[in-house]
Every structure is written in C-alpha cells, then in structure tokens.
Amino acid sequence: MISMEPIIKLDDVWKRYEMGKAGGLTVLKEIDLEIKKGEFITITGQSGSGKSTVMHIIGTLDSPSWGDVYLKGRNVKNMSESSLATLRGKSIGFIFQQFNLLPTFTALENVMMPMDLGYMPEKEARKRAEKLLGLLGLGDRISHKPTELSGGQQQRVAIARALANDPEVILADEPTGNLDSTTGKFVMDFLEKLNREGKTIVLVTHEQSLVTYSSRVIYMKDGRIEKVVSNRKGGE
C-alpha cells in the first residue's frame, strides 16, 4: 500500500562542485522529487546525467549545495551528523554494484555489522543474520568470506546486510551491474517481493530493461529531471 506521505523529499536541490581556478561544475539543477512510502521507483539516465549524485543525496550520503532534503519529514540539514547517521542507519538499506563487503569478515559477520553498529545484542543480531542469509539461499555459506563466494552470492550477502536493521527504504545502485542475467533476475524479483511486503524501493540504473519493475520512472538528463513516467505494472 503506497502512502500519500513522502518518506523522502527533495526540494529545489542543486549540487555544484567547485574546481578552483577551473571554475565549477553544476551536476544537479532544480531537483524536486517526492518518494512515497511503499513506492518502487527507478531513477535512470545516461552516464553523466546526475542519477548517481541524486542517489547519494537521497541516501543522505552527500549534501546538496542548495535546497532541502527531508527524510521521514525531517530536514536533514538541521540534524547533527550523529543524529543523521542514526536515522539513516534505521531508515535506509544500501545495495551497491560493487557489493562493498568487508573482505576479512564472513558472510555472517558482514550482515551482523549494521546491527552491531545499531547496538543490537550479539545473540539477537546473529539470529537475524542467519535468518536473512537463509532466506536468500545462503544458509550453508554463512562462514565463507567474500573471496570464497561467487559474485551472485556476494550480492545476496549485500542484500541481507541491507535488510539487517529492517529499514523502510532500500536504495539499490546498479544492483545487477556485475551479475549474470539469471542472478540479476533473482535480485530484481527479490526487490519486487520486498516492495510487495511494504518496503520502499529506489533503484538507480542505466539498464532500461529494469524499469518495468517499478511503478514510477524518473528520467535524468544533464543534471535535471527530464520526465517522470508512471508504469501500469506498478499500479496494478
């Protein structure tokens, strides 16, 4: 069920990088975007369109040069870094193209890490991590380190890690970019399942074949939102 209230809102967001004597580069311009709780949206565009920068700002990993970002109704620029980190950790789970697993940690330890940072008791964190890895078909791989796992298995560990703190929003940045087509379909089907269960999914991708999974597609071009298209599938 999609809520009428936005869980994430960008209000006239601009991003500019100053480059000394070379001047500067404005990579985002006049971004107005509301993401409602329970939506599955895709942000897409060619390389250099600004979609990755939007992703970082949506995830509060970067700050806009101008404009406001709201997460669960709170203007993040009015929050301390520690308060923002706590809200981000509880509200958003991240899935990246490069997996970003800690190489010296086992699959279980990688999934437990966000829960440890959130001060969940170790016994409870271990139990939840084992359950998540089991749901993703990795129950027999919990003691394996990333180098002992295939790319598809590493991405499934990354998905389990993103779900560790039961976030309301899953932000997936090119999650199928390093995967074969079969594993990529598994990842997208799993994201679709999470959305049906109430999670808000924000997918950032250049792969046009993936936009059919979402209810709304945000097309980026030259740092601006070029158009927004509703998908019939997402509304059914």
B/e letters for 190-200, b = 16+ CB within 10 Å, e = fewer, are bbbebbeeebb
In a domain, 23, yes or no: no
Counting the structural domains of the chain, the total is 1
CA distance 134 to 115: 17
In a domain, 16, yes or no: no
**pTM reported for the whole predicted model:** 0.91
What average pLDDT is seen over the chain? 92
In a domain, 4, yes or no: no
In a domain, 31, yes or no: no
In a domain, 67, yes or no: no
pLDDT of residue 14: 97
> For the residues 154-165, what does the mean pLDDT come to?
95
Q: Give the domain range for residue 156.
A: 37-62+79-235
> For the residues 181-207, what does the mean pLDDT come to?
94
| Amino acid at position 232, single letter | R
Q: What is the CATH number of the domain that holds 211?
A: 3.40.50.300
Residue 55 host element (H or E)? helix 51-58
| Residue 234 reports pLDDT greater than 50 | no
Read off the tokens for 33. 């975007």
Cβ neighbours of 233 (radius 10 Å): 13
Residue 235's pLDDT band (cuts 50, 70, 90): very low
Read off the tokens for 54. 């939007």
Q: Please write the tens of the pLDDT for every residue from 198-217.
A: 999 999 999 999 999 999 99
Contacts made by residues 128-133, CB under 8 angstroms, sequence distance 24+: 128/164, 129/160, 129/164, 132/160, 132/163, 132/164, 133/107, 133/108, 133/157, 133/160
Helix ranges restricted to H, 92-221 = 107-117, 122-135, 151-162, 181-196
Q: For strands 74-75 and 66-71, give the pairing.
A: antiparallel
Q: Please write the tens of the pLDDT for every residue from 96-144.
A: 888 999 999 999 999 999 998 767 899 999 999 999 999 999 999 999 9
Residue 143 to residues 72, 116, 129, 156, 212: CA-CA distances in angstroms? 36, 18, 12, 14, 36
Q: What is the CA radius of gyration of the chain?
A: 18
In a domain, 26, yes or no: no
In a domain, 22, yes or no: no
